[in-house]
Structure 1
Amino acid sequence: MPQRRSRSFWPLAVLFGMFLVFLYGPVATIFVLSFQGPAGGLTFPMRGWSTHWYAQLWQGLGTVDIAAALRRSLALGTVVMVFTVLLSLGAGLAFRKRFAGSDALFYGAIGSLIMPSIIISLGIGLQFRLIDAGLKHLLQALGAEGLLENYGTSLGLFTSALGAHLTWTLPFGLLIMFAVFNRFNPAYEEAARDLGATPWQGFRHVVLPLVAPSVVGIGMFGFTLSWDEIARTSQAIGDVNTLPLELQGLTSTVTTPAIYALGSVTTMVSLLVMALALLLARLLGRRAGKARA
């Protein structure tokens, strides 16, 4: 016999539905308005349906090079994802055994989660400007006038911006990896060693396949958090912009649905990465389950 629902089910279901509408309603609204006709505006009612503003987006929005900003965001997100996965996995393996200073290192690594993002961005930007001043002073002292004239700044996409994004993505990766290894059964590794496997073979053929779904999840977090980040990037990226920074700047100058088209594209990229990551994690999880059996 099917179990009857309690009286509180429907009020709670309605409340949860209202929460979902509140959470995703703005995204859905922007997505719909991005398909306004050529004469459409930023609000309802719709004035026709078309992909005009998506075509306008790829033609460029004034002086802003959307394609270049998109490439920069994709490149930075990919590098941040790789570093987050490698550092989180390495730290997870290292912290399986306690060592001197492990507590201080752990709290220092995740401390950036409680710091205001703009403060971290300002601090990293100031740090790299001090590096610039030091390098220029050194070049001047060495008499390297040619290098000094050609030197710009150490602030950049894969220097200061990369560091700023890692202060955001790495703590999430560490917490996930620590939770995974906290539940990891070391009997699998012991069995591999009993069968003559080297430490590398044990990691490659036993540990990594079992934690692979979580590693994929860390990669997803690394990319999506970097892809959408604004505050930690704003003061630390130098003289170029990522796509979210361009989108933020365009909100005060663009008065057509092209801004909604750009927002929809960025959202679709995030959703696509999440879908691919979930699919890959599910496939790896099934393979790990077969390996345990």
Structure 2
Amino acid sequence: MTSESRGKEFWTLAIFFVLFVLFLYGPLSAILILSFQGPNGGLTFPLNGMSTHWFTNLFEKQAVGDFGGSFRRSLMLGIMVMIVTVVVSLLAGLAFRRKFIGASALFYLAVASLVVPSIIVSLGIGVLFSQLGFQPSWFTSAFGAHLTWTLPFGVLIMFAVFNRFSPAYEEAARDLGATSWQTFAHVVLPMILPSLIGVGLFGFTLSYDEFARTLMTSGTYNTLPLEIYGMTTNVTTPVLYALGTVTTVFSFLVIAGTLGLIVYLNRARARG
């Protein structure tokens, strides 16, 4: 059995992919390395010793910045956005399986926020809250601003999922005497559950690291991206790199855990 030789196109694309990965993760590797500076280390190379001093210092009271509070706010905001994104995207996907008056206009209205500059959306929502006499905050105005970013992606994903979903499964369930709710709960939902988890991951990660749509809507208290940005102008120690490393590792753990759950559900469904 002869193996097919690799052509020039393959090696060209392979080199391009390697360069892309280096471009994507090169800055992260620099932050990771600098976060292990010694106690007397600075913000640039070369390293002045190796230690985990700045990771320990990160969880102590800082003269500038509130890492713990901003992390909790971003985490709670991300979970809130994730839940609403999953529920609304699922309902929209179910609704658009059948044609109704105004469906096209509603679809384009739902995805229109993707083409509007994020800072304009943030400014508009912040001004609207102020004009209505409400104080902008991370759990009200920022929550709404983040939904204008996550919902269009969630809706588009669910449209793609239901576009490939065969109604024959539902018809078979109804032929066996299942009600509409039983058909959804025992047939439709288990089949689309991995995709819903993907929508949830999308919603959480987009919210967790969103900066522009939070800038004018977070109010008095910062979320984590705003806190990190503020610390870049005030913090002059490698504790900033330690913060970047911790938040990056947390993001990768969330993604890895979600992908692992999707793989588990797919294998469980295949066995069933």
Which category of TM-score, normalised to the shorter sequence, fits these structures? over 0.9
Alignment match, 2:267:
286
CA–CA separation in structure 1 for the residues paired with 2:100 and 2:135: 35
Alignment of 1:176-215 (within 5 A): 176-215=157-196
Corresponding residue for 2:258? 277
Which letter does structure 2 place at the counterpart of 1:28?
A: S
Distance 1:108 1:11 in 2: 41
C-alpha distance in 1 between matches for 2:102 and 2:13: 47
Alpha-carbon shift at residue 60 of structure 1 (Å): 3.0
Q: Distance in 2 between the 1:185 and 1:173 partners?
A: 20
Gaps of 5+ in 1: 133-152
Cα shift readout 1:54-86 (whole Å, capped 9, x = no counterpart): 111111331422111111111000110000000
Find out whether 1:59 has 2:60 as its counterpart.
yes
Match of 1:149 in 2: none
228, 235, 240: which is aligned to 1:247?
Answer: 228
| Residues in 2 aligned to 1:11 and 1:213: alpha-carbon distance in whole angstroms | 34
Shift of 1:157: 2.2
Letter in 2 for 1:285: N
- TM-score normalised to the size of structure 1? 0.90
Match status 1:15 vs 2:38: no
State the identity %.
58
Q: Given that residues 60 and 66 in structure 1 are in contact (C-alpha distance below 8 angstroms), is that contact kept between their aligned partners in structure 2?
A: no
- 3-state SS of paired residue (1:184): coil
1:154 Cα deviation after fit? 3.7
Residues 40-63 of structure 1 deviation map (CA, whole Å, 9 limit, x = unaligned): 111111111111111111113314
Residue 283 of structure 1 and its aligned partner are, at CA, apart by 1.2
Q: In structure 1, what is the Cα distance between the partners aligned to 2:60 and 2:7? A: 56
Letter paired with 2:161: V
What's 1:2 paired with? 3
Question: Aligned residue for 2:204?
Answer: 223
Whether the 8 Å contact between 1:192 and 1:206 is mirrored in structure 2 is yes
Q: Kindly indicate whether the alpha-carbon contact (under 8 Å) linking 1:37 and 1:52 is maintained by their aligned counterparts in 2.
A: yes
Q: C-alpha offsets along residues 166-217 of structure 1, whole Å, 9 cap, x if unaligned?
A: 0011111011000000000100000110111111111110001100111010
TM-score by length of 2: 0.97
Q: Give the Cα separation in 1 of the matches to 2:132 and 2:250.
A: 35
Alignment RMSD, CA only? 1.1
Bigger Rg, structure 1 or 2:
1
Write the deviation string for residues 192-243 of structure 1: whole angstroms up to 9, x where unpaired: 1011111111111000110011101000011111000010001011111101
Displacement of 1:11 after TM fit?
Answer: 3.2
Q: Determine the structure 1 residue equivalent to 2:121.
A: 120
Partner residue, 1:137: none
2:74 aligned with 1:73, yes or no?
yes
| Equivalent-residue separation in structure 2 for 1:220 and 1:4 (angstroms) | 39
> Which residue in the other structure is 2:241 paired with?
260
Aligned letter for 1:242?
T
